[in-house]
Amino acid sequence: MTVPATDQAHQAERAAQAATTAAAVRAVWGGVDPEDLEGSWLTQAVLAAELIRAGQLAAAATADPWLTQAAGEGEGPVAPEAAVAATGDLAVPLVYPLLIALNRMRRGLGTAMSILSGAAFLEMVTRSLVADAGRIADMAGMIARPRVVSYVRVVHLPACARCIILAGREYSLSEGFLRHPRCDCTVAPRRPGDTWALPTPRSLLEEMTPGQQRRAFGEDGMKAIGEGADVEQVVNARRGMATVTRYGREVQATSEGTTRRGLYGSRAAKFQKAAGTRFGEATGARARAKTPRLMPEEIYRLADGDRDHAIRLLKRNGYIV
C-alpha cells in the first residue's frame, strides 16, 4: 500500500502552490528593464517578496487541515506566520538573481541570457522557500498530534540521487528534514498501526527513464548499479571523491565509508589483517583504510571491459553488498 490518499492530495497541493508562486515571481522578474537592471529590480523586488510570502503562507496554512483529517486534532493550531518567519529574511535570496545576472554580463554573456540566468535562480529559490515554509508547518503540526509517532520521506520523480537514496526512510519527529535547493520531497505522518509502505530507492530507480537515471546517477554509476551495486553506496561514494595516485597512475577514489565502521573500511581491515599489514595510520574507529576506495567509474576504467573483474572490484570496494 502506498501513501494514503489524503497525504497524496496534500503533497499535490503543496507542489502546485510552489509552482504557481514561482511562475508569478518569475513574471515579475521578466518585467525588469535591461537598460537599468539593478534599479528596476530593486523596485520590483518588493512585489516579488509579497508574492513569495503569500505563497509561503498558503503552503503553511494547509498543514493543519490536512493533519486534522489524517491524524485528528492537535494540541493547538499551527501558526502559518511562524513557519514563514522561520524560513528567514528574503533580502538575500532576492538580491542573488540580480548579482547572478550582473556577473554574467560582466563576463561577456549577452543581456538576455544573463537575465535568464537570474530568472532560473529566482524560480529555484522561490520553490524552495515555499516548500520550506510548508514543511516547517507540517513538522510542527505532526509534533502537536500525539497519534503521529514519526514521519516518512516521500520522494517525487524526477529527483536527484541524494533524495532517491532517502526515499521511504522513517524518522523520529526530533530529526530535521534533509533538503537541498528546489527539493520537492514531502513528509507523510506515521501513526500506530499504519501498514502502508513507500517505494524503495531501487523501485524508484526502476520507474525512471534511462535519461533520468543518467542525470541522477551518471553513466558509470548506472553501469555499477546495473551490475548489482547498491544504489546508496554508489551515491554516497561521491561525497568524499578525490583524485589520488595509486597503482602507478591517477585514479578517482573516495574517502566515504573508509573508516573501520564503513562498509569498505571494514572489508579492507579484514583483507589487510589477513595480509599481516596495518589498517591505517590512525587507530580506533576513525582510522581510515590505506588503500583508496575506487569510484564506480574508475572501477570500470580499470576493468577494461572485463565484467567479472568489474564485479569483483565493485564488491571489494563495497558497492555490491
- Three-class secondary structure assignment of 238-298: HHHEEEEEECCEEEEEECCCCECCCHHHHHHHHHHHHCCCCCCCCCCCCCECCCCEECHHH
Quickly list H helices, 62-189.
63-71, 80-85, 91-106, 111-143, 161-164
Confidence (pTM): 0.69
Average pLDDT score over residue span 22-34: 96
**Res 307: pLDDT:** 67
For 72-105, write each residue's pLDDT tens digit. Answer: 888 888 889 888 888 888 988 999 999 999 999 9
- Residue range 4-28: mean pLDDT, rounded: 92
Comparing C-alpha atoms, which of 115, 110, 124, 107 is closest to residue 38?
Answer: 115
CA distances from 126 to 51, 96, 303 (A): 9, 12, 45
Show Cβ contacts of residue 241 under 8 Å, excluding neighbours closer than 6 positions: 252, 253, 254, 256, 295
pLDDT at 269 over 70: no
User: What average pLDDT score do residues 163-167 get?
Assistant: 85
- Where is pLDDT greater, at 279 or 194? 194
pLDDT at 125: 93
Measure the CA–CA gap between 244 and 289, rounded to whole angstroms: 14
Residue 289, pLDDT score: 53
Whether 268 and 255 have beta carbons less than 8 Å apart is answered as no
Domains of the chain, by residue range, sit at 5-198, 218-316
Rounded Cα–Cα distance for residues 41 and 43 (Å)? 5
Cα 238 from Cα 218, distance rounded (Å): 11
What pLDDT is attached to residue 261? 54
Q: Indicate if the pLDDT at residue 241 is higher than 50.
A: no
Distance CA 293, CA 266 (A): 12
pLDDT tens for residues 183-210? 778 888 988 888 888 778 888 888 889 9
Q: How far apart are CA 43 and CA 110, in angstroms?
A: 23
**Confidence grade of residue 254 (pLDDT, cut at 50, 70, 90):** low
Between 94-98, 160-164, 272-276, 315-319, the lowest mean confidence (pLDDT) is in: 272-276
Q: How buried is residue 270: exposed, middle or buried, by Cβ count under 10 Å (0-12/13-18/19+)? A: exposed
CA distance 232 to 83: 32
Average pLDDT, the chain: 80
Q: What is the pLDDT of residue 277?
A: 47
Q: For residue 246, what are the CA distances in angstroms to 250, 262, 287, 290, 319? A: 6, 21, 19, 11, 19
CA distance 56 to 63: 12
**Per-residue exposure over 60-75, b if at least 16 CB sit within 10 Å of its own CB, e if not:** bbbbbebbeebbeebe
pLDDT given for residue 74 in this prediction: 85
**Amino acid letter for position 98:** L
Q: Is the pLDDT of residue 286 over 50?
A: no
Computed on alpha carbons and rounded to an integer, the radius of gyration of the chain in Å comes to 24
Which of 217-249 are b and which e, b meaning 16 or more Cβ less than 10 Å from the residue's Cβ?
A: bbebbbbbbebebbbbbbbbbbeeeeeeeeeee
- Residue 169 near residue 153 (C-beta atoms within 8 A): yes
